[in-house]
Structure 1
């Protein structure tokens, strides 16, 4: 009887949920994979490519691209000078310029909004306290969302690339070109795929400060506004700094106030995120690039920016007293 009583009084072991980073990340994937916003975002490149294809097919003012495999198209650049190494011959060059010039700028802003939303939704749905209580290590909460956004950037690269390739093959069929790849096509595919990968990396980088801002203000609108202001100022200073370095004579007659701003931009140029992203994605001859900035240094700077932005998000969220 004593033995039975003793066994009955043994407390039942408690199972405490303490997921690691991997399980937290997998939870993010399963949480968002059925969300309509993310499904639309994944499908956006295909929708844009379909609209572009229909526009080319139905437009009464359709350009004459007969012999499209040898068709030379305009360059993406400034004053007729190319700023990207994308190639300029054939259907893949035409489709690439449509996707890069007409789609990527809008998509990049949407990507920042998407990244901010994955943070904001936890506050909006009042689930942030539950998430933090299930995961005692708050750093994992932040890092799992960073990994999720990184996966979305990789997914974006795949969907944009597939959309571009399908659009190019549609152009070949539409204009009666042989269904195959020419040597120029192979070269253009390599150039554009590399460029798209770097642009998706840039989208991921700009998404990180957006996420940190949303952790701070708990509003996706505020986070996107901060992203737009920060990226705008960073880009403006980078452009001014590059132009002042490459063509100093252009600003010699400027007023003293503008001379001061230009000097600040010139000194800040090597430390700006836009400067290093331009160095990685643009031709060295672009007026927005200082060719003396080392490519390896830009890769190091990109890595440091990732660490800095993630650390900022951790510093904002980890010590916060969650009352929602």
Structure 2
């Protein structure tokens, strides 16, 4: 009898573990269910957005709906399965950060066909307007940081670029902003660009190779702060601190501190708080039957002149 009970309990545990793989266990409260599908828990900016969503949900919407978070781990197949599982589980709203702007479209169509509103935050997908997006302009982000770099780079600078994933909307936009703006100076040369997949560790390896093959490298521009900070780690290991300029995007707490102490020249504030606040506001509105529309949030250049404002913000949020 005892052995049968143990086996039964193990089976229940296995079923629950399978049901909530890559997500938080849901408490049955009778309230509407809102899914937040995070692109990757290994991406510092995505986690910042997730943390803000959880915090905002607890403080402002706990009496209206439950938020259940899932980790797509940067894998589009995983994300598609998560969206489809949310449809099958009859979630009331799905919020997600897309891994792939095209691959997720069929799953989003299934959700919308099932009457589930879909909100894409920190990006948007090519679904003909079926979903509502909350995003920034990645071309503008790349442009403002590159314009600042133009004022700091010496004559005949050699630049390398750390890119996000191939085909990614934000990576493509930031790259366009970088390249078009840097092209305004004929003496500047972009000598290489490598895909770092948004990751710090991969950026370290790529930068180490650049430091070996391009001894007179002047500057590294990264599509996000994690890769920019990875570049700095490689530069530090090579004892070349202060010799190579570094620029990023996101204004993570760690990057703001790096701008303050001179390890990075600049970054761009991508509004994680705005993404989270607006996503849950939109979720609340759709549950009430109110209309919502896609919006683009502003991004601001962060330099040594204004970085203290953002450091204070991160302190207030508990990130520092």
TM exceeding 0.5: no
TM-score between both structures, scaled by the size of structure 2:
0.28
Q: Which has the larger radius of gyration?
A: 1
TM-score between both structures, scaled by the size of structure 1:
0.27
Between structures 1 and 2, the one with greater strand share: 2
